[in-house]
Amino acid sequence: MSAPRYDVLAIGNAIVDVMSPCADDLIEELGMARGGMTLIDTARAHELYDAMGPAREVSGGSAANTLAGLSALGLQCAFIGQVAQDQLGEVFAHDIRAVGIDFDTPARVADASTGRCLIFVSPDGQRTMNTYLGASQFLPAAALDDATVASAAVLYLEGYLWDPEEPRAAMKKAIAAARNAGRKVAFTLSDAFVISRHGDDFRALIEAGQIDILFANAAELAALTGEDDFEAGLAALAPSVPVLVVTRSEHGAVAVSGGARVEVAAEPVDAVVDTTGAGDLFAAGFLAGHVRGASLQQSLAMGAVAAGEIISHYGARPEADLKALMAQRFG
């Protein structure tokens, strides 16, 4: 097997996050699902944007956030995702390339605009996300080059993008290319609502041995396994996945691989400002350790450090020096 050109190549939604702090009663007034992620159409996007206070715009998207963390940790990364030929598309492309990630997917020239996620951040840092997928849901399989996918040590896939038909086909093509090349496939379940729609697909991928590393949170684990008890869910899923990583918010995280189980506590922070991207950066820290041959314990701890950094400020992209944080923590 040839040496990989990239450490991680990810396929995901190309989205610009629009974030604004809000009072708890606004969440209820607008009929949003507090702490969840809801797909919205153009009309709802305009309604919610009009209700927002002063906002910050920063490139986001779950898999792209993970790559930003990986790049900050010194890994070579590439991203495949669909933007439109518009201002937000230019913002997204500039931001992801500016942090050293290769991004060559041509912009779509059509009626759908670049995707955006309207994020309402409650006083306790909880984020309520409303996502207009826009152009990202039209990522075609033709945008993938099998040789590029095969050149990455790890293919990382975002569960959110499994929902639309075109990118689902693209990701299936990418899985085949990665496995044919003997590369690893990592998958993040993204949200319980995605599992409610496509859980059978995900379970089939797992049972067929198509996923090497699976990321979930406690709610997603319950949704995928049908087990409300955390330990029962872990026991049901772990034997089917070579590496299973499950985050538990303030209760830390658990990883199981080859029968070995490790746990870490949540990294202490002065204040939880915004939980947007916590899972994404946890995956970045873990994958950085995993790709470099770190132990399961250290990889999990690296995930906790990266997640701790991201929840200490607004936005889902790192602001502190992640390399320095890791050096302080691990030497």
Mean pLDDT by 10 residues, the chain (331 residues): 92 93 94 90 92 89 96 98 94 95 94 91 90 94 95 97 93 97 97 94 98 97 97 97 96 96 94 87 98 97 96 86 94 76
CA distance 96 to 80: 11
Q: Which CATH class is domain 6-13+61-112+137-330?
A: alpha beta
pLDDT at 313: 86
Between β-strands 260-264 and 213-217, what pairing exists: parallel, antiparallel or unpaired? unpaired
The DSSP call for residue 221 is H
| Tens-digit pLDDT profile for residues 165-188 | 999 999 999 999 999 999 999 999
Question: Which two tokens mark 275?
Answer: 């939980």
pLDDT at 37: 84
pLDDT at 59: 86
CA distance 56 to 315: 8
The DSSP call for residue 109 is -
pLDDT at 169: 96
Q: What percentage of residues in the chain have a pLDDT greater than 70?
A: 100
| Tens-digit pLDDT profile for residues 20-57 | 999 999 999 999 989 888 989 989 998 999 999 999 88
Verdict on whether the full-model pTM lies above 0.85: yes
Residues 6+ apart with CB under 8 A from 238: 244, 256, 261
CA distance 257 to 243: 5
Between β-strands 77-80 and 184-188, what pairing exists: parallel, antiparallel or unpaired? unpaired
pLDDT at 275: 83
CA distance 85 to 314: 27
Rounded to the nearest integer, the mean pLDDT of the chain is 94
pLDDT at 273: 84
Q: How far is CA 63 from the centre of its chain?
A: 4
Q: Which residues pair with 99 in a beta bridge?
A: none
Residues 6+ apart with CB under 8 A from 187: 156, 157, 159, 202, 205, 211, 213, 214, 215
Sequence spans of domains, the chain: 6-13+61-112+137-330
CA distance 12 to 283: 14
